[in-house]
Amino acid sequence: MRVLLRKCLRGHNNLFEWSATGKTWYKINYKRIVPLHNGDTDPFKALEPFRNAMTKMRFYAGFHIAVFEGNYDREKKVLKVTL
More confident residue, 18 or 44: 18
Mean pLDDT of 2-16: 76
Number of domains the chain contains: 1
The domain of 37 spans 2-82
More confident residue, 21 or 50: 21
Residue 81, beta-bridge partner list: 35, 70
- Say if residues 33 and 77 touch (Cβ distance below 8 Å): no
